[in-house]
Amino acid sequence: MNEIPRGTLQEQTFYEQVGGEETFRRLVHRFYEGVAQDPLLRPMYPEEDLGPAEERLVLFLIQYWGGPRTYSDNRGHPRLRMRHAPFEVNRAAHDAWLKHMRDAVDELGLAPEHTEQLWRYLTYAAGSMINTPD
């Protein structure tokens, strides 16, 4: 029987396969560059500086995809719908969020299978945040 050596691709998390923390920081930074200029999304971020929101999303995505659990250690359970409840998230906000995220994902230059897996999750997550009918 062939054994898979430790540290091979089959044993790696998605987080490790796509380049770890640096990849998620690039993704989220690019995403927030778009959000900062978006008249629909920017008001959903009450902080003057988007840095704290950027850091929260980075840590969440890192943890979700198999990296360190820093997000939960610092903030507890993600409770994404509850945390977004104070904001009106309609189809237009969903579409704007995905537009900026698509730009960010495309700029990463990941392997097609990684891009597809990441995009499936992001579209699912965006859809689950809608809390206001059009």
Q: Read off the pLDDT of residues 69-88 as tens digits, 9 standing for 90 and up.
A: 998 877 766 555 455 556 78
Enter the CATH code of domain 16-128. 1.10.490.10
What dihedral do alpha carbons 78, 81, 85, 88 form, nearest 10°? 130
SS3 for the chain is: CCCCCCCCHHHCCHHHHCCCHHHHHHHHHHHHHHHHCCCCCHHHCCCCCCHHHHHHHHHHHHHHCCCCCHHHHHHCCCCHHHHHCCCCCCHHHHHHHHHHHHHHHHHHCCCHHHHHHHHHHHHHHHHHCCCCCC
pTM of the shown model:
0.84
Distance between CA atoms of residues 72 and 109, nearest Å? 28
- Sequence ranges of the domains in the chain: 16-128
Asked whether the predicted pLDDT for residue 132 surpasses 70, the reply is: yes
Token couple for 53 = 């929101």
pLDDT value of residue 133: 82
Residue 113 — pLDDT band, cuts 50, 70, 90? very high
* More confident of the two residues 67 and 128: 67
